[in-house]
């Protein structure tokens, strides 16, 4: 996992659109538990069923199965990074909600057993991206059931579509211990969904409906057009921009060609904060350029010493700032304050200068990102 992105350089190398096309056909006859009859749209209708606002390029959507999956990880993972994986205080907030409703689910009961696996397999955090490859929980649930029944072996599949799905999941859950974890996690999430999360998610969607509309308006009418040249020239012509309840300043991105991208970002909690979704999107859209700049300017020795891991997050934060400075400079100060707040840093005074100080980046890498943005926007 590189800066919370999954793409060509990640262990999750699967063409997303192929998975989406194969799952519905290849898994249609497979058995296995799902969350019930409600809200299980096919891939092509998932956006409309779960909250797509428009059909313009990069439509803003909400996806219940994505939020459920990320919610599960948020409840289990230690979150100590400078820019947290999830909203600050998210787990405590959800525990309070459970207690207020008098609910205890299998996710609560199995938390210790599930959390322990992260210490054994650090790569398990990369499985957060899996939900972005599927159109609904029903698809995802059937795919997991198939994978577990096949014991992670694509050779046990009955057709090429099933082979692709099994091989895809095997990248994230390669060992028997990982598959045992996945089985327990899915079981726990299913109980969490039916006893708590579905009702909670629907209530949040109703409450945040005006925020969703405001985010769509500011994105489609103002800032997507300003970023579209950059997006089109960096193989990000369109995709899904998903507003996700558990996320804050760190998004989740999978890239699979000009039209098969998926980016999950913060679902702001107020109408007047709708632009936060644009800040987080810019941070995600710069990912490929930031990763290339790092790869081109880090020596093999530095890579072995872990330099890449130490600077990858800073490169995304600073790269997003550079992108907005050149495409929507009126957002640069707000972007800086947003990421400083996410890092728990006071944003008094010159926020952009503070961002540079708090997220240091080697000059070679900063200059490489800057040149590449200029090249893309200049059409070179």
Closest to 362 (Cα-Cα) out of 318, 304, 321: 318
Query: What integer pLDDT is reported at residue 259 of this predicted model?
Result: 66
| Pair (256, 133) in one structural domain | no
| Pair (255, 357) in one structural domain | yes
Domain for residue 36, yes or no?
Answer: no
Give me the count of residues in the chain.
380
| Pair (289, 148) in one structural domain | no
CB atoms under 10 Å from CB of 304, counted, come to 9
Closest to 25 (Cα-Cα) out of 142, 151, 183, 149: 142
For 297, phi then psi, to 5°, come to: -130, 15
| Pair (281, 328) in one structural domain | yes
| Pair (228, 109) in one structural domain | no
Query: What integer pLDDT is reported at residue 56 of this predicted model?
Result: 80
Domain for residue 41, yes or no?
Answer: no
Domain for residue 290, yes or no?
Answer: yes
- CB-CB contact of 212 with 62 (8 Å): yes
Query: What integer pLDDT is reported at residue 322 of this predicted model?
Result: 98
Question: What does the alpha-carbon distance between residue 165 and residue 253 come to, in Å, rounded to a whole number?
Answer: 19
Q: Residue 295 corresponds to which tokens in the numbers above?
A: 């790869």
Which residue reads 């600050």 in tokens?
A: 88
| Pair (317, 365) in one structural domain | yes
Q: How many domains does the chain divide into? A: 2
Query: What integer pLDDT is reported at residue 36 of this predicted model?
Result: 32
Domain for residue 37, yes or no?
Answer: no
| Pair (202, 221) in one structural domain | no
Where a domain ends, among 207, 224, 257? Answer: 207
Domain for residue 192, yes or no?
Answer: yes
Query: What integer pLDDT is reported at residue 191 of this predicted model?
Result: 97
* Distances, alpha carbon 82 to alpha carbons 65, 103, 310, 312, 317, in Å: 27, 32, 11, 12, 11
Question: What does the alpha-carbon distance between residue 179 and residue 157 come to, in Å, rounded to a whole number?
Answer: 17
Query: What integer pLDDT is reported at residue 31 of this predicted model?
Result: 42
| Pair (240, 366) in one structural domain | yes
Where a domain ends, among 144, 179, 207? Answer: 207
| Pair (158, 112) in one structural domain | yes
Q: Who's near 24: CB < 8 A, 6+ residues apart?
A: 42, 43, 135, 139
| Pair (180, 276) in one structural domain | no
- CB-CB contact of 376 with 233 (8 Å): yes
Domain for residue 35, yes or no?
Answer: no
pTM of the entire predicted model: 0.87
pLDDT per 10-residue tile (average), the chain, 380 residues: 43 42 49 34 37 75 97 91 92 96 96 94 92 91 95 91 92 96 98 97 97 97 97 93 97 80 96 98 96 90 81 95 97 97 90 96 96 89
* Distances, alpha carbon 97 to alpha carbons 35, 81, 100, 200, 263, in Å: 21, 25, 5, 9, 27
| Pair (238, 372) in one structural domain | yes
Q: Beta partners for 242?
A: 61, 264
- CB-CB contact of 27 with 40 (8 Å): no
Q: Beta partners for 240?
A: 262
Domain span holding position 314: 216-378
| Pair (221, 202) in one structural domain | no
Reduce the DSSP state of residue 259 to 3 states and report it.
coil
Domain for residue 363, yes or no?
Answer: yes
Domain for residue 94, yes or no?
Answer: yes
End-to-end CA distance of the chain: 30
Where a domain ends, among 148, 183, 207? Answer: 207
Rg (CA), the chain: 20
């Amino acid at each position: 996992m590189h800066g919370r992105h999954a793409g060509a350089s990640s262990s999750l190398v699967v063409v997303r659109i192929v998975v989406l096309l194969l799952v519905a056909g290849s898994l249609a006859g497979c058995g296995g538990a799902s969350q019930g009859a409600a809200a299980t749209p096919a891939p092509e209708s998932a956006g409309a069923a779960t909250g797509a606002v428009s059909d313009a390029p990069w439509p803003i959507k909400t996806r219940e199965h994505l939020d459920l999956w990320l919610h599960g990880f948020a409840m289990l993972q230690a979150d100590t990074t400078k820019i947290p994986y999830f909203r600050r205080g998210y787990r405590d907030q959800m525990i309070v909600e459970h207690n207020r409703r008098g609910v205890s689910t299998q996710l609560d009961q199995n938390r210790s057993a599930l959390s322990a696996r992260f210490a054994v397999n650090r790569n398990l955090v990369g499985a957060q991206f899996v939900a972005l490859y599927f159109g609904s929980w029903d698809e995802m649930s059937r795919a997991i059931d198939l994978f577990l029944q096949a014991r992670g072996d694509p050779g046990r599949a009955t057709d090429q579509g099933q082979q692709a799905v099994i091989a895809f999941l095997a990248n994230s859950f390669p060992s028997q211990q990982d598959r045992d974890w996945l089985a327990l996690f899915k079981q726990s999430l299913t109980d969490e969904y039916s006893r708590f999360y579905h009702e909670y998610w629907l209530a949040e969607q109703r409450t945040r409906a005006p925020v969703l509309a405001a985010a769509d308006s500011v994105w489609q009418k103002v800032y997507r057009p300003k970023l579209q040249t950059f997006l089109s020239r960096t193989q990000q012509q369109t995709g899904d921009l998903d507003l996700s309840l558990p996320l804050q300043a760190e998004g989740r991105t999978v890239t699979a060609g000009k039209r098969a991208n998926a980016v999950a970002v913060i679902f702001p909690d107020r109408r007047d904060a709708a632009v936060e979704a644009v800040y987080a999107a810019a941070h995600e859209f710069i990912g490929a350029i930031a990763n290339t700049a790092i790869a081109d300017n880090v020596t093999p020795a530095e890579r072995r010493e872990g330099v890449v891991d130490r600077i990858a997050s800073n490169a995304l934060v600073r790269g997003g700032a550079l992108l907005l400075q050149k495409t929507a400079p009126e957002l640069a100060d707000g972007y800086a304050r947003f990421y400083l707040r996410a890092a728990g840093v006071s944003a008094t005074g010159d926020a952009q200068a503070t961002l540079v100080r708090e997220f240091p980046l080697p000059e070679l890498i900063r200059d490489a990102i800057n040149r590449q943005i200029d090249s893309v926007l200049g059409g070179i």
